[in-house]
Amino acid sequence: MVLTYYIVKFPYKMVWNFLNLIKKRTDIVFYCANELDLEIFKNVQRHLNPIPVVAKNRSLQKKLLKKGINAKLMPVFPKGVIMCRQACYLFPESKIVRIGISHGAYHFKPFANVKGHNMFNQFHFTSSKEVEEARLIGITSGVGLGFPKMDDAFNGTYSEEVLGKLKEELNIDPNKKTVLFSATWDGSQMSAVHEWYNKLSNFTSEYNVLVTLHVWTSKKYKSVIKNTPGVNYIESQDITPYIMISDICVGDTSSILSEMSALYKPIVSFKVPFVKRTVLEVREIIKSISFQIEKVSELDEMLEYACQNINQKEIGQEVANKRMFETLDGRAGERVANKIIELLPELRIEEEKTILKRKMRYNVNPKYNFLTELIERLPDIFEKGGTCIYEGRNTIKTFNYDGLIVNVKSFKIPHFINKVAYAFLRGSKAKHSYDYGTEIIRRGASTPEPIAYLELLKNGLFNKSYYVSIHYPYDFMIRDLIGFEFPDKDNILRQFVTYTYEKLHKNGIFHLDYSRGNILIRRIQDGKYDFSIVDINRLKFLKLNYLKGLSNFSQIWADDEELEIIAREYARINNRNEDEAVQLLIKFDTAHKTKINRKNALKTVFKRSVKGDKC
């Protein structure tokens, strides 16, 4: 037990019991030693009532504040505490309910001392096998329900679209394999970071290079790595998506190897010397799940070998995964939360009470009645849950519901006039999206299938709304090819015109915001594409004439060459003069661009004048 325990034990117990005598302790807190702790806990927290955070020190408190988390500082005297560390010595009163969650999968380092573990009422290891091994040395507080940190890899949080955007942000070259380097803390004597930190430039020409390091890694290594051209240094504590986009991983004895194994990634590991903290069974696990080398001079050849033999370690990884993880199903956080609720029932989310406090109105597609509970909970879960795929004036997130991926669009709170209008006079944007989406599908066109809309009222006025639809897994948008070189571009544009005419215009569907970001495209087979429209709260259902239909394409902000392809195809389908169609569409396009540019210029002038008035 650390010295701090004996220094603070008796004063802390006296204060805690005195405060408890005056007023029964009811607070439950999450003790945060570093930012990684929050990353580990997030998939548990989403299944519990909100828990205030207590930061280890003022430095961490400031970092958390920048993320919008207003954390308290020690000392605190709660009824219960949850942590991702063995730090019960900071809460030395036995009446406190103390719950621990392992901050890494399996025990890649030796178990912490038995007494420290047994101070917990529950300590959540990552598998029942690990619980058995802990029990053999006298640890009795163990529970093994899985590793919540890995949930997002299996519950649909990181869709292909999300991972695709991450690759874009990192400027990943699709013609190269991606290698993720990782290392444990260099002070542990079990790290290999010294082998490769200054050699990464040898690999950047052939590979996309990503690097993640233990938070305590020495600055001398971090500095060199961050300043190596062509290297993406990962600052985020959530490395799951980076593992997912990697083709091969490099490591030493870091527990991140277990996460790489869980995703069946080819792994190259450095053999490190046998030291006091070496865990024999972990040494064998690493050997079974990875291709091993001793020096960085062997790495280039081994990377090539691993890429060519990606399945060679798959059986070893499968065996290791069963030992290290209870179940890889994306629901470990839920299981851990339910176990915590057994000791701290007040953390159970009181859904019914929450719903009754609000005035809400909603409509759910009868086909998806089983999602009603999710719809009713949206105001509570939207901010903290899901994966954000778009954030601007409105926000769009994806949620996974037992394998069903749904999109939820949260519309911004409207100004006062629309608060009145949406409450009493006309439907909100969310309602329009649902109604129009249903009608679009009835008329034979394609849009992500509507599930529901939900509107919230506050003080009798409209406040906020959500539109829920089935996630449409698209490959790209029209905006990805307009103005760019793009494979099969002319053919895609012609099929886009055919879709617009046959599915929309002939069926009386006129999209008032037919812009490049609102047309999704999916490859069906070679040379064939499927189209779907989104952002559908601004539509008209009417009989369209030829000119009205042609003018619809002016909103995609295309250049003259692209407009010519579109105009000629639309004219051909309508048995009209192609040259005349080109002239007309360019005229419509010019008028549209002039209108938008003038509108943006007026906005700029207005903003400057307002700013000037404030000065």
* Inside any domain, residue 338: no
User: Do 160 and 306 reside in the same domain of the chain?
Assistant: yes
Domain boundary among 103, 125, 151: 151
Domain boundary among 442, 470, 498: 470
User: Do 461 and 490 reside in the same domain of the chain?
Assistant: no
What does the pLDDT average to over 225-241?
93
User: Do 483 and 560 reside in the same domain of the chain?
Assistant: yes
Domain that holds residue 530: 476-599
User: Do 306 and 431 reside in the same domain of the chain?
Assistant: no
* Inside any domain, residue 612: no
DSSP string covering 262-314: HTT--EEEE-----TT--HHHHHHHHHHSEEESSGGGHHHHHHHHHHTTTTTH
pLDDT level of residue 356 (50, 70, 90 thresholds): very low
Q: Report pLDDT digits (tens) over 190-217.
A: 999 999 999 999 999 999 999 999 988 9
User: Do 320 and 244 reside in the same domain of the chain?
Assistant: yes
C-beta contacts of 234-241 below 8 A and 24+ residues apart: 234/210, 237/35, 237/36, 237/38, 237/39, 238/39, 238/152, 239/182, 239/212, 240/149, 240/150, 240/152, 240/153, 240/158, 241/152, 241/158, 241/162, 241/163, 241/166
- Judged on CB neighbours under 10 Å (0-12, 13-18, 19+), 92 is buried
Predicted confidence (pLDDT) at residue 309 exceeds the cutoff of 80? yes
Question: What is the pTM for the complete model shown?
Answer: 0.60
* Inside any domain, residue 613: no
pLDDT at position 358:
53
CATH number of the CATH domain containing 501: 1.10.510
Q: Report pLDDT digits (tens) over 398-456.
A: 988 877 899 999 999 888 888 888 888 888 999 999 999 999 999 889 999 999 999 99
Q: Report pLDDT digits (tens) over 557-583.
A: 999 999 999 999 999 999 999 999 999
CATH number of the CATH domain containing 426: 3.30.200
* Inside any domain, residue 610: no
Report CA Rg, the chain. 29
Domain boundary among 151, 184, 217: 151
Predicted confidence (pLDDT) at residue 357 exceeds the cutoff of 50? no
> Rounded distance, CA 209 to CA 12, Å?
49
User: Do 301 and 205 reside in the same domain of the chain?
Assistant: yes
User: Do 79 and 188 reside in the same domain of the chain?
Assistant: no
Number of domains in the chain: 4
> Rounded distance, CA 582 to CA 580, Å?
5
* Inside any domain, residue 331: no
User: Do 315 and 166 reside in the same domain of the chain?
Assistant: yes
* Inside any domain, residue 606: no
* Inside any domain, residue 164: yes
User: Do 315 and 452 reside in the same domain of the chain?
Assistant: no
* Inside any domain, residue 341: no
CATH number of the CATH domain containing 112: 3.40.50.11720
User: Do 262 and 364 reside in the same domain of the chain?
Assistant: no
User: Do 97 and 229 reside in the same domain of the chain?
Assistant: no
